[in-house]
């Protein structure tokens, strides 16, 4: 089994979760916070068989939009702007996905 951690924007998580459930792909939603923007995002934990990996990634891609936000970065976070208080334009997403191999799955 593969385990995907998909970090998506809150505005996308609902339609993405519905689309996955509709295809019988199990998903667990975890409320998370981006370190840079300090804004809420959602991390989806998705366990899938390898033969459904491409299908799952396609669904994530289809339902994750890229957005540009103007923000003041979190203080202490290194970035390319001289002043930490200066608003900057940041492109977020669509989704950041990590793929892991699962050694074993247990359900009791």
The contact set with ligand 2BA (CB under 6 A) reads 7, 34-37, 39, 41, 77-79, 90-93, 96
Closest to 25 measured CA to CA, from 66, 65, 60, 61: 60
Q: Of 24 and 80, which has the nearer Cβ to ligand 2BA?
A: 80
Provide the minimum distance between the beta carbon of 12 and ligand 2BA in the complex, in angstroms, as a whole number. 11
Please tell me the number of Cα atoms within 13 Å of 33 on its side-chain side. Answer: 4
Question: Can you tell me which residue has the tokens 């669904």?
Answer: 59
Q: Of 9 and 56, which has the nearer Cβ to ligand 2BA?
A: 9
- For ligand 2BA, the nearest residue by Cβ is 34
Task: Describe the crossing of helices 10-22 and 53-62 by its angle, rounded to 10 degrees.
Answer: 140
Q: Of 8 and 20, which has the nearer Cβ to ligand 2BA?
A: 8
């Amino acid at each position: 089994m593969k385990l995907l951690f998909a970090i998506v924007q809150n505005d996308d998580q609902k339609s993405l979760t519905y689309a996955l459930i509709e295809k019988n792909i199990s998903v667990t939603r975890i409320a998370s916070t981006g370190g840079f923007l300090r804004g809420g995002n959602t991390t989806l934990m998705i366990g899938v068989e390898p033969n459904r990996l491409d299908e799952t990634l396609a669904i994530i891609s289809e339902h994750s939009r890229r957005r540009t936000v103007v923000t003041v970065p979190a203080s202490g976070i290194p970035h390319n702007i001289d002043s930490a208080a200066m608003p900057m334009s940041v492109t977020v997403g669509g989704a950041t996905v990590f793929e892991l191999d699962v050694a074993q799955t247990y359900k009791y």
